Amino acid sequence: MDILITGSVAYDYLMTFPGHFKEQILPERLESISLSFLVDSMSKQRGGIAPNIAYTMALLGERPRVMATVGEDFEEYRAWLEEKGVDTNLMGVVPGMFTASFFATTDRASAQIATFYPGAMGYGGTQSLKDLKSIPDLVIVSPNAPDAMMKFPAECRELGINYLYDPSQQVLRLEGHELARDMEGAHFLFCNDYEFGLISKKTGWSLDQMLDHVRTLVITRGKDGADLYSGMDAVHIPTVPENEIVDPTGVGDAFRGGFLTGYSRGFDWKLCGEIGSLAAVYCLEQRGPQSHNYTREEFINRFRHHFDDDGKLDALLNGLTTGKSYRSNNERSNS
């Protein structure tokens, strides 16, 4: 399956604060909040939602395409992604611009405060799906420049391309009618439980009402796993026990990468989610969204300590698809 991922590409500057943010906040002074945190570590990591998702897919044997705008400082990052198996031919360099940058500080409770500089990402809307030489089977619409976030779903609808709508951090700036417009007819909606609450509040739609507009809804819930809803089907995906918690940055992206790998192989929803669950834990156990690494054999062996794949994951070892879809009748009828 040809999966094209659109979204941010960034360098991540990750810092750790040895205390708790909540202890530094005075509720009665929120209108004049002024805080500065002395951190005890900082690292620079390759990040951005689009390559984060692609990186995990590549680890599992896929070769996803990423379409994004990047800065003149991107060439080392490009070489890294290509070496790992990500197709970067659609990642365009914007002259005179830096690649986007993400600055995140995480406290002892894994709470996070972050800021984002868009840089070259601000030119994302200059790209178009209409310029592609080959039409993908699925387009991932993840956080990007605002005009790109509006443009790509519209082009998918116009061209008849299935798309996964993943507004993520952009939920805060999107209005209810904008969310509703781009959820309408989406093949997937991905969000975490907090984002789901915001989407519901802004659109006025309950979960059941969302499923009248979106074919499949996936809600990640941190340590409580994830829930997938498709038509009348509902599947809960538990988490995999971690060896240690190091850094939550990029965990949701790794989940998406694992899930989409299963989806591209025609696996059932439960198995797709379980692959995503394990991929997420590998990311959680390392610092940075692209520091985790494993062979496919190692991944499958660890998977089978927690889940039963009935031998289906053997297909990951040789790059083969299953040859048929194991998903629900509802999914097949809507594909």
Q: Which residues are catalytic?
A: 253
Task: State the first-to-last Cα distance of the chain, in angstroms, to the nearest integer.
Answer: 13
Rounded to 5 degrees, φ, ψ at 47 are -150, -155
**What is the spatial distance between Cα 100 and Cα 121, in angstroms, rounded to a whole number?**
6
Helix axes 146-159, 176-183, angle to 10 degrees: 30
CB 121 within 8 A of CB 69: yes
**Helix extents (H) in 70-162:** 75-84, 146-159
CB 244 within 8 A of CB 285: yes
Q: Beta strand 233-237 with 226-230: parallel, antiparallel or unpaired?
A: antiparallel
Return the structure tokens found at 133.
């030489």
Return the structure tokens found at 194.
């907090």
Q: Beta strand 87-93 with 10-16: parallel, antiparallel or unpaired?
A: unpaired
DSSP 309: -
